[in-house]
């Protein structure tokens, strides 16, 4: 870290900061500018609370130099992490497409949708059994019953299952049924949950919080990685801004930023990031064009009657169109989407 | 809800929307404007997913009319909810002041701080035993050991204890030691946790998420209220905006907005909402001037060595000054701060 | 507009709102719900200040129904507006590419860059003669001298010139040299300037303010359109959010939103919307994949020595790669980029 | 500035950065950390575009050290700037209160309001003759006719006039009638306007843009100061955030931040920063409690019929209450509001 002194800091104040840096086992490096003195702390400053220096007289600001995450960084691991899901090597040139309803509502809805998304080209199946809903009066999901239906859909279609886990004590249960554990946006900083998922052996799909920076997303991934689970897929799903014409603002910039800063695969969720079904295909194409490694898309056979997120769900035929559009985009930039049947 | 049709919607499309409204057991009320038709749905639309109408041909937008929360609203309960804490009737004219360190670090730090904040006029003691930290490499709190120290500090000083609970399965443990259960900003939408706290009998201090709207805060409170716990204190602790000169942006407007929309007491946390100790007193005064029912302030006997949030912690003597300033402000608007010793 | 009454509004309060609506020459339409009464105002409410109703006793909220803009809306003009620039019919299937330096620095820099972007496939030339700089100590542009250099570059290369006008009294001057008048993001709500550009006969490139909603962008376009100039290109150039890993956040959602709500062409500026040259190609591809009608890209022959925006400028060879990538993306979705020489 | 190298930067890349720093006439200071090398540039780096270094191989990030403004900083001028307005020494312990309608609508409205705010205790009169309106269909102000009415109101009441100037070529006209030149939020970065106001001799009230940082506000003030006008009052009027329950979010933190970073007086506009009249008094009290040097408040004798901003205007009797509440708050923190007649 760098400690920027005030323009009128005294020599004694500078000396005290140096002493404090050395107290933490770090080296101090003085740089006297024309207006102010800057003191660099040499060594691994991650365990030190940098803001403590703000209490020392003469200190103006403290700037971090090292990134706060390590295992998640491309500097630590330059080559892409590849996570195989149903034969797709996510993180390679192969684009991964996950689709399904927001919630598992009942057996017939789930089976029908599973067959439909498989037919349209999806490589994995999504569906929520435990639902984080902002209103206590909304449908809260089927719980374990939903997980059983998902497993049945997997057995019938061969599509692996991506489903959300909402609390640390649910991990053991969800692991029995799911192929990929999803951590929802509202839980991105639920640290006990990240810890528990980090100790499981299943790949994790970590959604960015709507209020989280790219750096915080990578810190959340670091929690999972540091507890032993190295299979983390990151998911951009839109951030909250002042704009209200869409539910969220897709942070498309985050795709190239993440691809440059981390080795983990990056997935885009165009359904949540727009919140309106008629913008989903456009943003799905944009995500792949920007360099995303995959998509997770909400599909419902009858969106007008969905128990959750109906407004952003695609009908299967619209989803089939999207898959073919995305394949054309992927091929235009030298990647592949493993799907048959597009013209 | 109101369904706004497109300007070129056909009569058949309007008829279909009416049919769908009636299918949900609601009445439909047609209003034909000069440019477009608007259809009102009469009845309690809360259980209906309003976005489903976006899939119907001819529909442009859907606008909610009712507020999505009920038990938390002042319309439902016009008179203030009063929550007594250590003799202070929070929600009345009496201003409540909670203070203490961010984390319980060890017995002597906690005991020293507890005596110091009592001496300075605090009515309750804060301190974290379970800490949500963005870095897996930071101090994570003492856990139950920390709770025991807090209980000892209460016994010694008589100050009730406010402490955070981070997961539903921790509630039973924390309830044994705490007087008020704090739900942190990152857990404001941890719905299993809200449910569990809703089933306990302890008052809850619910912190607003840094990217949560006032309405979402009230929906989170509704979760707790609807599970049986009617003693909820709301806490504004700053929101995330584009401004970077402070850690968060204190949403001071939220104070009068909340006081007009809900009957629950509203507390301000000027430490997190600014993130820098030398702005804390100024914002504490502003909060009380704006109408807040209380404050929760980070105090540390040696902030330069705190294991967390040192940069925003006040020394006890600064905190004592703050209490007296706040008392003067409170009295200027006809409220009281029960504290002795100010000049 | 719809006026939502409080749950406890009296009959007299409702009657007074109706009287007021009728006073403005509008019709009133009553809709009594189970919880509250809603009153619709029938007729063109645009000239009425809707917030005035907030002063009437019993009124809770006022919701607009009509969009505040008219000439800019697709409802008013369903077919795309086509603006021809150097043989490219912007707004049709043909993608328009504008490129050049941030500022005109001197004759040789501008001529060299103009030839380079033409060679790489650009259809028009950008370059600023008047520069809005946040610091009074930064390079402020060459003024009319810069305009003359731009005109010379046009004569030499055949590329039409897009350049910024910063004040109403500059319009007459800039019109003499420019082919397209650019209104910068900081001036999107400089209403005297919009008025003056609206009275000129040159096409206008209107950049979205970094703090402006899509609706406000369309209102700014409405100013230009309503003063007689119907040739307006809209430009998304990134908005300000809490994320700091890029200079701005590209609002990629705005592309399909604008394409659905207006008939005007939509251009993306991936240089300002990312602020870092190594993200520009990725976001340029995303913009075209999402449905943008064109791009405006900063190119500098020696970005490391640029007098402004060097950090986001591409070298000509990187720009040539970008053009070919964008052509491949455009063709994948059935559009064309008129450029030769890509493999 | 500090240039942070990548972890894998070569010695040659470091040497090239040093060469470039020296090319700009600055000294280079090397600091080799355990993970990366940091190079400090010693000297006044303000004229150098720091982002240019991003194009050099091996460079990861560039961090500014000096603040970009100088004349506006408290480091440059430690003692408060005092600006006398109608006998109130703004910037001292005396709180300044400016009030009046949003727009000058006609002679009788303006005269009536002027007498009313004087009676209630205001020290200066606000009122807009030139109005920046988001809709081309809204009332655009009376222009010079409005300025004449304002001058008449001043002559009648003795209250000096604060009014907005919207374009550089209007300055000469507005200066003839106004005592304080207001620069509106949408024009905070209208640099030709800042330049023109900087060359006038009238005090300027500079409103913060709704999406401008505190640093950008101070840079805008620097424009005015650097062109010779040293009498600048800064005005916080709310920023744009994701929260929608109020029109803007009052950035109350900006009050103590500005008071610590600049010597200029800081005024709060609680009318625009909330957008709803029933929150205005609460936020006015908060602003003074936080340390603001004054208030600017919208008052209208008949807000329900105002031609602009009626929803946030106070009636004179509410304003009179506000003044007395604010006086009580000011006195509680040792400041004064020069007003008679409070109980």
pLDDT above 90 coverage of chain B, percent: 73
Dist. CA B246–CA B251, nearest whole Å: 12
Report pLDDT for A307: 75
CA distance A137 to chain C (A): 17
pLDDT digits (tens, 9 = 90+) for C122-150: 999 999 999 887 778 777 889 999 999 99
Radius of gyration of chain B (CA): 23
Q: Note whether B141 and B103 are within 8 A (CB).
A: yes
Phi then psi dihedrals of residue D229, to 5 deg? -90, 115
Strands C37-42 and C2-5: antiparallel
Q: Is B251 left (phi over 0), alpha (psi -120 to 50) or beta?
A: beta
Confidence of residue B47 (pLDDT cuts 50, 70, 90): low
Supply the angle between the helices D254-261 and D214-226 in degrees, to the nearest 10: 40
Phi then psi dihedrals of residue A88, to 5 deg? -90, 130
pLDDT digits (tens, 9 = 90+) for C311-333: 889 999 999 999 999 999 999 99
Contact between chains at D137 and C167 (C-beta distance less than 8 A) = no
Cβ neighbours, 10 Å, residue A191: 24
Contact residues, chain C, for A318 at CB < 8 Å: none
Q: How many CA atoms lie within 13 A of B78 on its CB side?
A: 2
Nearest-CA residue of chain A relative to D32? A42
Report pLDDT for D47: 65
Nearest to A192 among B166, B216, B310 (CB): B166
Nearest-CA residue of chain A relative to C327? A332
Residues 6+ apart with CB under 8 A from D12: none
Handedness of CA D220, D221, D224, D226 (dihedral sign): negative
Nearest to A328 among C282, C283, C333 (CB): C333
DSSP D32: E
Handedness of CA A169, A175, A181, A182 (dihedral sign): negative
Confidence of residue A240 (pLDDT cuts 50, 70, 90): very high
Contact residues, chain C, for A239 at CB < 8 Å: 241-243, 249
Contact residues, chain D, for C303 at CB < 8 Å: 52, 55
Question: Among the residues of chain A, which ranges form H helices?
Answer: 11-23, 107-120, 144-157, 171-177, 191-198, 214-226, 254-261, 270-274, 277-290, 316-332
DSSP A1: -
pLDDT digits (tens, 9 = 90+) for B152-167: 999 999 999 999 999 9
Nearest to B249 among D241, D246, D290 (CB): D241
Q: List, as one string, the DSSP characters of B171-192.
A: HHHHHHH-SEEEE-GGGTT-HH
Dist. CA A90–CA B171, nearest whole Å: 39
Contact residues, chain D, for A30 at CB < 8 Å: none
Higher pLDDT, C202 or B306: C202
Owner of token pair 């957008």: D275
CA distance D69 to chain B (A): 15
Contact between chains at A6 and D242 (C-beta distance less than 8 A) = no
Dist. CA A13–CA A11, nearest whole Å: 5
The two three-digit tokens of residue B123, written as one number: 């009515």
Q: Note whether C305 and D52 are within 8 A (CB).
A: yes
Contact between chains at C134 and D219 (C-beta distance less than 8 A) = yes
Q: Note whether D286 and B290 are within 8 A (CB).
A: yes
Mean pLDDT value across residues C54-72: 85
Residues 6+ apart with CB under 8 A from B334: B93
Contact between chains at D55 and C167 (C-beta distance less than 8 A) = no
pLDDT digits (tens, 9 = 90+) for C273-323: 999 999 999 999 999 999 999 999 999 988 877 777 778 899 999 999 999
Contact between chains at D329 and B331 (C-beta distance less than 8 A) = no
Mutate to test the interface with D, among C19, C46, C55, C187 (most CBs of D within 10 A): C55
Per 3-state DSSP, chain D is made up of helix, strand and coil in percentages (nearest 5) of 40, 20, 40
Confidence of residue B341 (pLDDT cuts 50, 70, 90): confident
pLDDT digits (tens, 9 = 90+) for A292-316: 999 999 999 888 777 777 788 999 9
The three-class DSSP label of residue A282 is helix
Mutate to test the interface with D, among C64, C131, C191 (most CBs of D within 10 A): C191
Report pLDDT for D46: 67
Q: List, as one string, the DSSP characters of B106-140.
A: -HHHHHHHHHHHHHHT-SEEE-BSS---SSTTS--
Nearest to D125 by CA among D276, D284, D316, D272: D316
Nearest-CA residue of chain C relative to A217? C243
Report pLDDT for C46: 67
Q: Note whether C110 and C104 are within 8 A (CB).
A: yes
Residue A46 has pLDDT above 70, yes or no: no
CB pairs under 8 A between C and D: 130
pLDDT digits (tens, 9 = 90+) for A109-143: 999 999 999 999 999 999 999 988 777 877 788 99
Residue C47 has pLDDT above 70, yes or no: no
Give the ipTM.
0.93
Radius of gyration of chain D (CA): 23
Helix (H), strand (E) at residue C283: helix C277-290
Dist. CA A86–CA A101, nearest whole Å: 19
CA distances from A160 to A120, A122, A124, A294, A326 (A): 15, 10, 5, 15, 21
Contact residues, chain A, for D36 at CB < 8 Å: 65-66
Cβ neighbours, 10 Å, residue B227: 15
Per 3-state DSSP, chain B is made up of helix, strand and coil in percentages (nearest 5) of 40, 20, 40
CB pairs under 8 A between B and D: 131
Contact between chains at C51 and D312 (C-beta distance less than 8 A) = yes
Which strands sit side by side in the sheet containing D27-32, from one edge to the other?
Answer: D27-32, D37-42, D2-5, D59-63
Contact between chains at A133 and B191 (C-beta distance less than 8 A) = yes
CA distance B336 to chain A (A): 32
Residue A230 has pLDDT above 80, yes or no: yes
What are chain A's partners, defined as 3 or more CB pairs within 8 angstroms?
B, C, D
Q: Note whether B50 and B10 are within 8 A (CB).
A: no
The two three-digit tokens of residue D25, written as one number: 């006439």
Dist. CA D259–CA D294, nearest whole Å: 13
Q: What is the pLDDT along chain D (343 residues), one digit of tens a residue?
A: 888 898 889 999 999 999 988 888 888 888 887 778 889 888 777 667 777 788 788 888 888 877 889 999 998 999 999 999 999 999 999 999 999 999 999 999 999 999 999 999 999 999 999 988 777 877 788 999 999 999 999 999 999 999 999 999 999 999 999 999 999 999 999 999 999 999 998 999 999 999 999 999 999 999 999 999 999 999 999 999 999 999 999 999 999 999 999 999 999 999 999 999 999 999 999 999 999 999 999 999 888 777 777 788 999 999 999 999 999 999 999 999 999 888 7
For chain C, strand residue ranges (E) read 2-5, 27-32, 37-42, 59-63, 83-85, 88-90, 96-100, 124-126, 161-164, 180-183, 204-207, 232-236, 266-268, 294-298
Report pLDDT for B46: 67
The two three-digit tokens of residue D285, written as one number: 């009290």
CA distance A297 to chain C (A): 16
């Amino acid at each position: 870290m760098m400690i920027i002194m005030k323009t009128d800091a005294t020599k004694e104040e500078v000396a005290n900061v140096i002493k404090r840096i050395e107290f933490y086992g770090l080296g101090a490096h003085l740089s006297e500018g024309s207006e102010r003195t800057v003191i660099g702390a040499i060594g691994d400053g991650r365990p030190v609370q940098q803001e403590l220096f703000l209490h020392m007289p003469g200190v103006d600001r403290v700037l971090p130099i090292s990134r706060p995450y390590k295992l998640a960084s491309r500097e630590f691991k330059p080559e892409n992490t590849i996570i195989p899901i149903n034969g797709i090597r996510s993180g390679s040139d192969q684009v991964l497409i996950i689709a399904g309803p927001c919630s598992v509502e009942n057996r017939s809805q789930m089976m029908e949708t599973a067959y439909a998304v498989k037919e349209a080209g999806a490589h994995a199946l999504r569906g929520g059994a435990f639902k984080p809903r902002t209103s206590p009066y909304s449908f809260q999901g089927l719980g374990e019953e939903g997980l059983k239906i998902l497993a049945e859909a997997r057995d019938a279609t061969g599509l692996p299952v991506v489903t959300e886990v909402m609390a640390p004590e649910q991990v053991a249960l969800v692991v029995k049924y799911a192929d990929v554990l999803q951590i929802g946006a509202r839980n991105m900083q639920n640290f006990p949950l990240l810890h528990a998922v980090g100790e499981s052996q299943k790949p994790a799909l970590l959604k960015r919080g709507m209020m989280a920076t790219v750096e915080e997303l990578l810190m959340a991934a670091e929690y999972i990685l540091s507890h032993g689970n190295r299979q983390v897929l990151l998911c951009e799903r839109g951030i909250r801004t002042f704009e209200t014409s869409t539910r969220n603002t897709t942070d498309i910039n985050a795709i190239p930023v993440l691809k440059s800063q981390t080795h983990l695969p990056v997935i885009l969720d165009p359904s949540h990031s727009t919140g309106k079904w008629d913008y989903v295909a456009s943003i799905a194409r944009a995500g792949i064009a920007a360099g995303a490694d995959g998509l997770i898309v909400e599909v419902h056979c009858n969106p007008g009657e969905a128990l959750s997120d109906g407004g952003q769900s695609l009908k299967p035929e619209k989803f089939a169109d999207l898959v073919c559009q995305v394949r054309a985009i992927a091929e235009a930039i030298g990647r592949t989407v493993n799907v048959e049947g597009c013209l």
